[in-house]
Amino acid sequence: MRKWGFLILFTLPLLLSLTACSGQSGQTSATQGTGVQGKSRLDTVKSRGKLICGVSGELPGFSFVDKNGTYKGLDVEVCRAIAAAIFDNPDAVEFRNLNAKERFTALQTGEIDVLSRNTSWTISRDTSVGLEFAPVVFYDGQGIMVKKDSNIKSLTDLKDKAICTQTGTTNEQNLADQMRKRGIPYKPVVFEDINTAYATYAEGRCQAVTSDRSQLLSRRTTLPQPQNHVILNDVLSKEPLAPAVTNGDSRWFDLVKWSIYALINAEELGINSKNLASFENSKDPDIKRFLGKEGNLGKDMGLTNDFALRIVKHVGNYGEVYNRYLGAGTPLNLPRGQNNLWNKGGLLYSPPFR
């Protein structure tokens, strides 16, 4: 008994010390996770009075500037949804055009608050680059575009041909991997500026150009004779396109993440910008929580409880946004496919709002 008593007296202070150290370490980590002196990017955005969002600005359907100088597109609407959630004003956004090379640096240095620029979610970007990816807003795959009269029908027909692409993207590596696996020699022609890549292809100095299939479809609409260009059936990769923020700020990440889920969940619930008022007095608990009539889902994130209602009111649901810029009746005319809701054969799925 004396021996066990001695051991208890000896080890108890040590255990208490270790527990205290562990608690202190966890507190430090949490403080670091919200930025300098415990501040979140959300605090910075609120005090500034606007969101700064990094986009391409040159990709029809996703982010482009119309003839009136207004930013439009799927990626743009994600930014406007976040601004609507915070300020009840979708126009409280400053857009920054970024190319593929500078987009991550702009995010890492704090020049922008969120990157919403047709960016593929990969493990290296999620870890070594220090990004945190929000939900996927467009499921894509890499493709190759050629001229209709080139007689190129598949990857094997590209043997020893010049293929244009953009450096600093997943497209460059995917192309190299797929051609190496198939033992097909080719001539990569890479550019920092995507506009130069497409211009070189249009001039015939490359026999093909490769990028995400959605981008190829988008860029095809800007070529002098769009009908003279075709996209091969070969899909070279998975390209889940998602907005991103920097690591270490869970409050800001949660806000961006759930703003996107609000777009998806609204469509699941059948709520859109046109019929929103009809749900005002709904007795459905899921709808009441979603619209902020019940619970504190918004308050728990540093927002008003009706943050999702604000998003739908100003931006609409995901389906509305998709149809506005990518669906039937638009120059791209892209079927929803994988970008449909999970209960309609697609991959879009929102966790519960509860």
Residue range 220-260, pLDDT digits in tens: 999 989 999 999 999 999 999 999 999 999 999 999 999 99
For residue 329, give both structure tokens.
């009746």
pLDDT digits (tens, 9 = 90+) for 289-310: 999 999 999 999 999 999 999 9
Angle, alpha carbons 265-42-263 (nearest 5°): 15
Q: What is the pLDDT of residue 2?
A: 40
Higher pLDDT, 29 or 151: 151
**In the structure, what pLDDT confidence band is assigned to residue 194 with cuts at 50, 70 and 90?**
confident
Q: What is the pLDDT of residue 170?
A: 87
Query: What is the rounded CA–CA span in Å between residue 170 and residue 177?
Result: 11
Residues 6+ apart with CB under 8 A from 72: 63, 64, 65, 66, 325
Q: What is the pLDDT of residue 29?
A: 32
Beta-sheet strands, E only, within 84-180: 93-97, 114-115, 131-133, 138-140, 142-147, 162-166
Q: Is residue 99 predicted with pLDDT exceeding 60?
A: yes
For residue 124, give both structure tokens.
């290296």
Give the pTM: 0.85
Q: Are 166 and 98 in contact (CB under 8 A)?
A: no
Q: What is the pLDDT of residue 167?
A: 86
Q: Is residue 21 predicted with pLDDT exceeding 50?
A: no
Q: Are 338 and 214 in contact (CB under 8 A)?
A: no
**In the structure, what pLDDT confidence band is assigned to residue 279 with cuts at 50, 70 and 90?**
very high
Q: Is residue 44 predicted with pLDDT exceeding 60?
A: yes
Q: Is residue 17 predicted with pLDDT exceeding 60?
A: no
Query: What is the rounded CA–CA span in Å between residue 335 and residue 345?
Result: 12
Mean pLDDT score of the chain: 89
Phi, psi (degrees; rounded to nearest 5) at 18: -65, -40
Q: What percent of the chain has pLDDT over 90?
A: 84
Query: What is the rounded CA–CA span in Å between residue 328 and residue 48?
Result: 38
pLDDT digits (tens, 9 = 90+) for 317-350: 999 999 999 999 999 999 999 999 999 999 999 9
Judged by average pLDDT, the poorest of 12-21, 33-42, 131-140, 223-232 is 12-21
Q: Are 313 and 276 in contact (CB under 8 A)?
A: yes
Q: Is residue 212 predicted with pLDDT exceeding 70?
A: yes
Q: Are 63 and 116 in contact (CB under 8 A)?
A: yes
| Class of residue 22 by CB neighbours under 10 A (exposed 0-12, middle 13-18, buried 19+) | exposed
Q: What is the pLDDT of residue 89?
A: 98
Tokens 């009809």 label which residue? Answer: 278
Average pLDDT (37-49) is 90
Q: Is residue 154 predicted with pLDDT exceeding 90?
A: yes
Query: Closest by alpha carbon to 245, among 135, 99, 86, 164?
Result: 135
Q: What is the pLDDT of residue 31?
A: 32
Q: What is the DSSP letter of 120?
A: B
**Residue 100, CB half-sphere, CA atoms under 13 Å: how many?**
21
